[in-house]
Chains A and B, each alone.
Chain A
Amino acid sequence: MSAALQAMGLRVRLGQRQVLGGLDVCIERGRWSCIVGPNGAGKSTLLKALAGLLPIEGQVQCLGQRLDALSRQERARRLSWLGQSEPVPDDLCVHDLVMLARLPHQGWLAAPSELDRRMVQTALQAVQAWDWRGRPMGELSGGQRQRVLLARAMAVGAELLLMDEPLAHLDPPHQVDWLEQVRGLKAQGTTVVTVLHEIGMALQADDVLVMHAGRLLHHGPCADPASQRAIEAVFDQRIAIHEVDGRWVALPRVS
């Protein structure tokens, strides 16, 4: 069984509107999959549904088990989710915020264990935030906050890491850091699923899921020409994907 996440007949309604219309998705274990598509395609909704955070029709399986059959804590230990433009508390310090990631591992009134502290330290060091762990979130810049939120998502230590626009507000060096962290997590067997609007970054992933209007149009390796044609098509041929130094880049196609 190599599926980390599998959705069958996945439908999501938000109010009257059907946002996802009967998707079948299989995310492979130990790989980085990236969801792309135009605005309003349902990318974030798919990620949230896969994380078990929305009422759905159909079924989602996580590591071979039905997601809704898992206990809240068990699901939280297996699956870490980082949302897009979620609230950030101004009056919590960086260290305390990242420690919240360890809640699924702690007993109800238990103090943080040695492992909890180590995971928090590793995550904060990975985003170079360890040195200012005592500062309140309200004093940080947008990019610094995002790095702390990334550390929070990683400190869960889950087998599955789902991130919606993780690169928001990050400057180029920290974007590269993030790429390296994802590679490191994959090497440890972690499955990573992201939503990225920047196609150049999305093409660095192993697999790409191309979405349009609540449907999955294409799912395949980024290196596959068919995947690249699908990406170009979903963006109305306004971008062109080229190879530069053995990597894929997306350039605007200006007439």
Chain B
Amino acid sequence: MKQAMMQGHGDATDSRLAPAAWAVLMLLGAGVGLLLGASGGSTGWQWPWQARLDPLQWQIVADIRVPRSLGAWLGGALLGLAGALAQGLFRNPLADPFLLGSAPGASLGVCIYLAVAAGSALAVPGLAQLGQTGAAFLAAAGAVALTLLLSRGVQHTQRLLLAGVIVGVLLGALTSWLSLLRPELARAMQGFLLGSTGLVGWSACALMAATLLACMALSWPLARVLDALTLGQSTAQSLGMPVAAARWVLVVALSLATGAAVAQLGLIAFVGLAAPHMVRALAPMPHRWSLPLAALAGGLLLLLADLLARVLMAPQDMPVGVLTAVLGGGYLLLRLSRLQASGGAA
């Protein structure tokens, strides 16, 4: 009897690829994507080694196409990592990087900045760009701080989520009110809300790369705490995990990653939500794998969206946020219909 039962479940072998193999594949994909990104643009298609011969073409490749593609990958990686952290921390597959208020915070920051800058000497193009990302990052950080203040710390997941919703509604209302008062800001605001990779330069890449490394260094050693937390807070504590301290560090990493990406690229939709889902669909794996893989998947997703944004309506640029919404949203929809299908069959 026992033997018959065991035979029924005897399929321990697993044909799915190992996480390490997926990591290599995604890195290769990123390499190909960067190469394609360096080759294509509004001036037509040209491989980088061909562009090398013409100084003007080479400048376009080195100062516009490469940083733009690299920036898209880095921003996507930041959002993917932030999404995986949010979903692990809140033990909720619907959690996304924006839920602690960084997105509405950044929008309000940009809105205030535009309102102030429009009437002053600050409206110098280069300075304005630097100022806008700075304002977005500071306001995102401020909004997360407000959320943490309202939820009285990070230990209570439900309170944290609720506080994030309240801050989102509050700051969103302020932003709407402000843009109603100053209708001429609406166009610039809309660009930020949709997200764009068009203006990313080397300094933005350096900033995002440093943030990505820092956030990975903060969160990866805590992957085992996230694993233990999947069994519930009490079980994680019973396993001797420093749950309270780890939560603070992870919230800081989550907010830093989100803030950096949002400040440079605007509100890129769905990457942070979809990337961790894609990784989960590959194979069951612990967080020491799913965190870096979610970053790689996020990077790949945004890089792909950026490529499509350049070619779909060439020589015009589409806002990349529209494409991530279509790609990420489409993927989640596919996932949903598969879940329903398997739920109906079971």
Contacts and interface: CB of A to CB of B under 8 A. Distances in A.
A73 B2 CA distance: 37
Interface residues of B, number: 30
Contacts of B14: 134
Interface string A75-91: 11101111100111101
A211 B6 CA distance: 39
Interface residues of A, number: 44
Contact of A100 (B5, B12, B231): B231
B139 to A, nearest CB: 34
A234 B5 CA distance: 40
B332 interface: no
Nearest to A171: B5
A221 interface: no
B12 A131 contact: yes
A59 B280 CA distance: 43
A81 B238 contact: yes
B298 to A, nearest CB: 18
Contacts of B230: 87-89, 92
Interface stretch (B30-38, B239-247, B252-260, B316-324): B239-247
Give the dominant DSSP class at B's interface. Answer: loop
Contacts of A82: 235
A88 B286 CA distance: 13
A132 B12 CA distance: 5
B330 interface: no
B238 A88 contact: no
Interface in B219-249: 221, 224, 227-228, 230-232, 234-235, 237-242
A72 B241 contact: yes
A81 B227 CA distance: 17
Contacts of A25: none
A251 B206 CA distance: 73
A92 B238 CA distance: 19
Contact of A92 (B9, B227, B237): B227
A212 interface: no
14 contacts: A72-B241, A75-B240, A86-B231, A92-B227, A92-B285, A92-B286, A100-B224, A100-B227, A103-B224, A103-B239, A103-B241, A131-B9, A131-B12, A135-B12
Interface of B: 1-2, 5-6, 9-14, 91, 221, 224, 227-228, 230-232, 234-235, 237-242, 280, 284-286
Interface of A: 48, 51, 53, 71-77, 79-83, 86-89, 91-93, 96-97, 100-101, 103-104, 108-109, 128, 130-138, 144, 152, 156, 173
Which A-B residue pairs are the 4 nearest by beta carbons? A76-B240, A89-B230, A86-B232, A136-B284
